[in-house]
Structure formats: C-alpha cells, structure tokens
Amino acid sequence: MTTRYTQDHEYVRVEGKTGTVGISAYAQEQLGDIVFVELPSVGASFKKGDEAAVVESVKAASEIYAPVSGKVIAVNDALSDNPGLINSDPTDGGWLFKLELDDEGDLEGLMDDAAYASHTA
C-alpha cells in the first residue's frame, strides 16, 4: 500500500489498481467542521487534476481534485449522513471515493509522507 499527496492536500492510497481518495488530516484541520460532501457518481471518469468532489465546512467550500486519472468504482456513502467522519478519521472512515487507476505513472510527481510533512510544516 502506497499513499501519495497533492499540493492541494488530497491523498490517494493505492492498493493494486485501486486508489482511495480523500483529504489529508492537515486539510480537514484547516477547513474546520465538515458539514456537507458532494461525491462523484460511481462510473464517472476523471483525469488527474479534474474537479471530482466538493467538501463544505463551516468556513468554506473546497473543490476536491482527482489526484490520479481513473474511473470511480465506489463512494463513501456514510459521508451523506455523517460528513464529520472526514474530521474525526480523514484517512480511514472519512475517505471520499475509490478510483480504478488508468495509469500508475500518475503517482509520479505526487508527494510521499515525508515530502508532504515538509510541505505542510
């Protein structure tokens, strides 16, 4: 399992050809309490950098961009009733959607844990 991060604080956790996408713990701290999430449709395809979802907090609405290209194979339906999962557990219970990766080469240029920690320091 590999986790990579974008400059915009999305993460993608890759297992095989599946990438689980969400926002980092740092991002949810900056946003504050998450009150609404707009998820993509299963079957939707995105290119790396496309707007894929929206997260609204008490402070602002933020677009979530696809960190890699792929097709949505699952969304986290639990967020519809409990968007606060993103605040309490951003990397496990608060993931947004899963993609079937088009090209693992998309991971190049994304930050690993150490680079992301440096980026947010």
pLDDT average, residue stretch 92-121:
96
pLDDT grade for 7, boundaries at 50, 70 and 90: very high
Each residue's pLDDT tens digit, 31-89: 999 999 999 999 999 999 999 999 999 999 999 999 999 999 999 999 999 999 999 99
CATH architecture of 2-103: Beta Barrel (2.40)
Q: What is the radius of gyration, based on Cα positions, of the chain?
A: 13
Q: What is the layout of strands, in order, in the sheet containing 2-5? A: 2-5, 10-15, 18-23, 97-101, 70-75, 45-46
Give the start-to-end residue ranges of the domains of the chain: 2-103
pLDDT average, residue stretch 2-20:
96
pLDDT of residue 1: 87
Each residue's pLDDT tens digit, 90-100: 999 999 999 99
